[in-house]
Structure 1
Amino acid sequence: MRRSGPLVIVLLLATACARMGTALGPASASLVIRGDGGSVGVEVEIADEPAERARGLMGRTQLPEDRGMVFLFEEETTSAFWMKDTLIPLSIAFWGADGRIAAIVDMQPCRTDPCPRYSPGVPYLGAVEVNLGWFERNGVAIGDRVELRV
């Protein structure tokens, strides 16, 4: 029995290490948007797993001006976003397989059902949420190119 103690500790440590990727939350990267007016960057968390995409920015009371969250999909989708339990107003840009922004939508917090759903109206591969008005303040427009630097 005494010899099983170290084995149990090793197994617990191995389990903890295996879960660290999800326990620490989404990975992060730099997102650069290039357009006619130049380029602008934002540091983003990457939500590329279903649970991360479902959680999004729910429950956050603030988002630094130069931060956001990227939602990545393996295949083009037409899924809509909603703001249930999201406490801050956001803007979202959707881009397609060509890497160009196809739509920009402003979204308001929602605390009670039913919440509105926000969709670009076209298939997309990725989306980035930032503080409300960030795209306008930074001169980002439909047709600008998105580059994710991991």
Structure 2
Amino acid sequence: MRQGILGVVAACLLAGGVLGATAMASTEDMSEPTQAQPVLPRENLAIVSASGRHVFSVELARTPRQQQVGEMFRTTLPDTSGMLFLWAAPQQSDMWMENTLVPLDIVFIAPDHRIQAIAENAVPRSLAHISSHGPVSATLELAGGVTARLGITVGDKVEAPSLEKKS
């Protein structure tokens, strides 16, 4: 009987250690970022506006950690690149520029794949919240000033394989 109890106690301690290590690992994964993340998988995304069809090569931020780090600590963002944050379900998107070193245009994409709102030239390192003001299925970060320069506006259509998969 004593061996049975010791076995149960040992199993509980082992399980507690494993669970504790798992919890610790997930906490570490969401710790405060200190450096830019590696380049994420990319796809082409197009915005169709009155001024034409504008194609960008965007990184796909799918996981909570990728979304947390975003464009932080990067020193450049080419005008033809960006980052697409894909939300599991439509939700209000609140972004900020903490540890982001370059100005960004933040484009909020509605579930119908149209641009719902644009925050132009978000200020680097700002902690101010930038809101979609309603549910969106994705958020796109582009180099600051790109949307104005290309004539991209609210209501324009966004086309991307990842958005089509969500429909």
- What TM bracket, shorter-length normalisation? 0.7 to 0.9
Contact 2:50 2:151 in 1 (8 A): no
Of structures 1 and 2, the one scoring higher in RCO (CA 8 A, sep 6+) is 1
Q: Report whether the alignment pairs 1:63 with 2:77.
A: yes
* TM-score, normalised by the number of residues in structure 1: 0.78
Q: After TM superposition, what 4+ stretches of structure 1 lie above 3 angstroms from structure 2?
A: none
The whole-number CA distance in structure 2 between the counterparts of 1:24 and 1:130 is 18
Higher helix share: 2
CA RMSD of aligned residues (A): 1.6
Q: One-letter code of the match for 1:142?
A: V
Moved more, 52-61 or 28-37: 28-37
Contact 2:93 2:139 in 1 (8 A): no
Aligned-pair CA distance for 1:77? 1.0
Q: Report whether the alignment pairs 1:137 with 2:149.
A: yes
Contact 2:147 2:153 in 1 (8 A): yes
Q: Report whether the alignment pairs 1:110 with 2:122.
A: no
User: May I ask how many residue pairs the two structures share in their alignment?
Assistant: 125
Q: 1:79 aligns with which of 87, 93, 101?
A: 93
Question: What 5-or-longer segments of structure 2 have no aligned partner?
Answer: 1-36, 163-167
Aligned-pair CA distance for 1:25? 4.2
The whole-number CA distance in structure 1 between the counterparts of 2:45 and 2:107 is 12
* TM-score, normalised by the number of residues in structure 2: 0.71
Q: One-letter code of the match for 2:134?
A: V
Query: Hey, what does 1:4 align to over in structure 2?
Result: none
Q: Percent identity?
A: 34
What's the CA shift string for 1:67-90, capped at 9, x where partnerless? Answer: 111110110111300111010011
Rg (Cα) greater in structure? 2
The whole-number CA distance in structure 1 between the counterparts of 2:38 and 2:152 is 31
Q: Report whether the alignment pairs 1:47 with 2:61.
A: yes
What's the CA shift string for 1:33-62, capped at 9, x where partnerless? Answer: 112222111111000111100000000011
Give the 3-state SS of the residue equivalent to 1:26 in structure 2.
coil
What's the CA shift string for 1:8-27, capped at 9, x where partnerless? Answer: xxxxxxxxxxxxxxx95421
The whole-number CA distance in structure 1 between the counterparts of 2:38 and 2:106 is 24
Query: Hey, what does 1:126 align to over in structure 2?
Result: 138
